[in-house]
Structure 1
C-alpha cells in the first residue's frame, strides 16, 4: 500500500512509514494512492461472514501487500475479539453498538488493531516508539489499554482538565507501566495542537521515535472500516436495503472510515454526521465556508472539537468538491438540551439507554428519517462512562461493568501541564 499526503499527492511512502511517522511534515494527512474495491462476489456472500472474516477481507485488500494474510488473520483475531451487535429498535431503525471492547468505546477497534500492527512492524533493535495522543475522552482510554505492556512502546496521553468524565479519567490515568497521562489546562484542541507541534519539532524528532495514536494515523482509520461493512452484512441478513449511516462526529475519523468503506464499494445510500454545538462541519456544508473555532464543552465531550483533523481526508476523498460531498453527506448539530431530550426519548420509546454521543446520532437519524431507508446510528460508548448525565430513573438502570468497578480502586498517576508547548516539550525531554 502506497500513501500520499493530502497536501502533496506526488509524495509516495510505504504503509510502514505512514504508520510510524503518522503525520507528514507538510501537515497533511496520509491517504492511500489507490483505494481497493470490495469484490462483487464477497458482497453477494457477505451475510454468511463473521466480523473477523469481514475484517480480514477489508484489511487484506488495503494492506495485504505489506503483511502476509496469515499474520493479518492473527492480528485481526487478537484485536477484534468482541461483539458488534446491530440492535433493531423498529423496522427501519437500528443502532450499532460499538462499545463492547475493553475500554467500552468504539476507539477499541483502532487502538487495539494499531498497537498490534505497530508491534508487528517494529524491529527489536529500533528505539522505543513514543506514541503521542490527544484525547477528548474515549481515545485515551482505548489507546492506554491497547498499548499497555506492549514492548518497545511508550504512550503519552494529553487530555483537557475538567473536560472528560470521571470514568474516562480513570481509564487514562491509572495504568502506569508504559502509559503516561498529562492533564492539560486547556481544551482538546489545545492538546491536539501540542501533539501536532511535537511532530514538527526538530529536537524532539532527533531524540525520539515519535508517532501518533490519534485518528490522524492511517492504522487507526483502517480497522474502523470493519464495523461499517459488518453492519451492512447484519442489515442484509434481515433483508434491509438503502442503508444510511448516522455517525456521532467530533474529529471526523469515525465517519471518515465509513466513507473510505463507501469508496471501497460498500453500498451505502447516505451518511449523516451528527455533532453537538461544535458545528464547524455542519456550518461548512450549509454555507460553504470552513471556519474552525474554539471548542465548547458539552455533555458529549468526545465530540468537543472545533477544528476536526480528519475533515481534510473527507475533502480529499471527494476531490475537495463541496457539491460532491453534499450528495453523500448531510450534517446536523444539537445542543445539550436536545441531547437530554434524545436520551429520554430513546428510553421512553424503545427502553434503550444511550450515551450522550449516541443520543446526538439518534436525533440526526430522526431528523433525516425516510421510511424507504434502513437507518443505522452508531453507539460509540457505554452509558456508564457518562453516569452523571442521566436522571436517577435511568442511572439506576445502567449496569456497571466489572472493569469499571476495578478502576475505582486504582490511584491516578496523572501529571499536570500548563497549556503551552514549551512545557510539554520539557516534560518529554526530561522524562
Structure 2
C-alpha cells in the first residue's frame, strides 16, 4: 500500500517512508492512497492480536510487514479495559494503564518500535520532534528513551501543563531534551511543523515527528477502539458508541478510522473544552482555527487541530456529510470541576479533567433521550492532575506505580522563546 499527502502535492510513498518522515514534504499529513475495504473482524483476541489483524492491510508490501506482529506484542503489553459506569449502558474505556498513565503510550510505543527497526545500525541519528499540550511528550520520551540512533526534543507550553505532567516531560535526560516554550501549544506545534518542512535543516539533521500528525502514532490508536467495540458487540449484539475528549483530533480520528475498517462502532461524539474550533464548525460555522485558550483539560488546549485535514480527506471534502456524522460539544472549566466533584460524591468515580469533559457530554446526551450503549474514552489517569482533582474530591488520588517512579526522578526543562531560530539551533546542536 502507498500513502499520499492530504494536500496532494507530494509523491506517494511506502508506509515506512511515511512513518519515518512524519509530515509530507508539502506540509500535508500522510493518508492511505486507498482506504482498505471494511472487513469481518473477530472478538476474543488479545489487544496485540487485534492490532495486528486490523493494521495488516496498511503494512501489506512494506518492509515492516513481517515485523508487525512483534511490534504489536511489544508495544501493547498493558490493558485497555472497558468498564461499566454507574448509569446502565454507560462505560469507560480506560486508556491510562501504560508507563506514563495516558493514552498516548499506545501510539508512542508502537511508533518507537517501528522507527527503531527502520533506523537499523549506524548512520546519522534521527531527531524526533514532538509538541505536547500535556501527555504526548512524556509518552514519546518514555518510548524513545535510550533507543540507539534516536533522540527526542520535546516542546511544551510553559505554565500550561500540570505540575506532574511537567515533571514527566523533563525527567528522562540522556537522548531526551525538554524545552518549555514561552507560548501556547499552537506555537509549539507551529515550530515543529516548520522544522519538519525545512529542507536545509533536514539535510543536516534528519527529523521526524511523534505527534498525532505521524501516521505511526495514528494507526495503532485504532486498535483499542476495535478491541473494545468487538468485545462489546460479541457480548451484547450492540454497537458501542463513543464520546471522545479531543484537542488535536488524533484520538478521535483513530476511532473514525476503526469504524471505516468495519469495526462495529456506532456514533462518535467529540468532547472539547473551551477551545471551540470544532464545536463551531460542526455547528455549521466555517472551520476557523483560533488562538488556543488555557483550560483545566490542558491536553485539549488546541486552536488548530492538525488531524482535521485527515478528517476532511476521509469525507472527500464534503462538509455537509461530515457535519451530518458528528456532534462536537464544548465544556467549560466550571462544569468540568462540577462533574469531577459530583461523580465522585455520588458514585465514587474519579476522572481526570479530560475524561470529565466527555462524561458531561454523555450526561447531556442521555438527558436528551439518547439510547444505546456508550463509552467514554478515559485519556489520562486522574493522578496526573492531582492539583485539580484532589481538592474537588477531598482526598488524595492513588498514584500508579509507573507514574510514581517517574515522579521520583530529577527533572529539568530548558526555558526558550517561541522562536524558530532557537529550535533550529537546538536541533543542529546535537
- TM-score tier after normalising by the smaller chain length: over 0.9
Cα 1:318–1:249 shift into 2, 3 Å: same
Corresponding residue number in structure 2 for 1:290: 287
Aligned-residue offset at 1:301 = 0.3
Cross-structure match for 1:48: 44
Contact 1:23 1:212 in 2 (8 A): yes
The answer as to 2:35 corresponding to 1:39 is no
The residue correspondences of 1:208-287 to structure 2 (distance < 5 A) are 208-239=205-236, 241-287=238-284
Instruction: Specify the alignment match of 2:334 in structure 1.
Output: 337
CA distance in structure 2 between the partners assigned to 1:10 and 1:430 by the alignment: 30
CA contact (8 A) 2:6 2:31 kept: yes
**Distance in structure 2 (CA, Å) of the matches to 1:60 and 1:328:** 27
Gapped runs of 5+ residues in structure 1?
Answer: none
RMSD: 1.7
The answer to whether residue 361 in structure 2 is matched with residue 364 in structure 1 is yes
Q: Distance in 1 between matches of 2:345 and 2:225?
A: 28
Cα distance in structure 2, aligned partners of 1:405 and 1:317: 40
Question: Is residue 197 of structure 1 aligned with residue 206 of structure 2?
Answer: no
Residue 352 of structure 2 corresponds to residue 351 of structure 1: no
Q: Kindly indicate whether the alpha-carbon contact (under 8 Å) linking 1:387 and 1:395 is maintained by their aligned counterparts in 2.
A: no
- Specify which of 54, 61, 71 is matched with residue 75 of structure 1: 71
What is the aligned residue count?
Answer: 427
Instruction: Classify 1:393/1:420 alpha carbon distance in 2 versus 1 (closer, same or farther; 3 Å).
Output: closer
Q: Quote the Cα distance in structure 2 between the aligned partners of 1:181 and 1:340.
A: 30
Give, in angstroms, the shift of residue 91 of structure 1.
2.5
Pairs within 5 Å for 1:16-415: 16-40=16-40, 42=41, 46-67=42-63, 71-89=67-85, 90-239=87-236, 241-369=238-366, 370=369, 372-392=371-391, 394=393, 396-415=395-414
Mark the runs of 5 or more structure 2 residues left unpaired by the alignment.
Answer: none
The superposition leaves residues 237-293 of structure 1 with CA deviations (integer Å, 9 ceiling, x where unpaired) of 430514211110000000011111111122322110100011101101113301111
Aligned-partner Cα distance in 1 for 2:80–2:274: 28
Q: Deviations over 1:64-95 (max 9, x none)?
A: 32256652111111100001100111321101
Answer yes or no: is the 8 Å Cα contact 2:241–2:373 preserved in 1.
Answer: yes
In structure 1, distance between residues paired with 2:55 and 2:72: 8
Counterpart-to-counterpart distance in 2, 1:195 and 1:235 = 39
Deviations 1:191-238 (A, max 9, x none): 001111111223311211110000101000110000110110231243
Q: Report if the CA contact (8 A) 2:10-2:24 is conserved.
A: no
* Partner Cα distance (2:256, 2:35) in 1: 11
Shift of 1:9: 6.9
- List structure 1 segments (4+ residues) > 6 angstroms apart after TM superposition: none
Deviation at 1:395, TM superposition (A): 5.3
Moved more, 300-309 or 193-202: 193-202
Q: Under a length normalisation based on structure 1, what TM-score does the superposition of the two structures give?
A: 0.95
Distance 2:66 2:195 in 1: 36
Worse overlay, 248-257 or 14-23? 14-23
Summarize deviations over 1:352-371 as a string: whole Å, max 9, x none: 10000000011111222355
Which deviations, in whole Å up to 9, do the C-alpha atoms of 1:124-180 show, x marking residues without a partner? 233211100000000000000000111110000001101111111111101111111
Question: Are the equivalent residues in 2 in contact too, given 1:243–1:374 (CA < 8 A)?
Answer: yes
CA spacing shift, 1:161–1:68, aligned 2, 3 Å: closer
Q: Deviations over 1:382-428 (max 9, x none)?
A: 00000010244725252112233333332222111111111211222
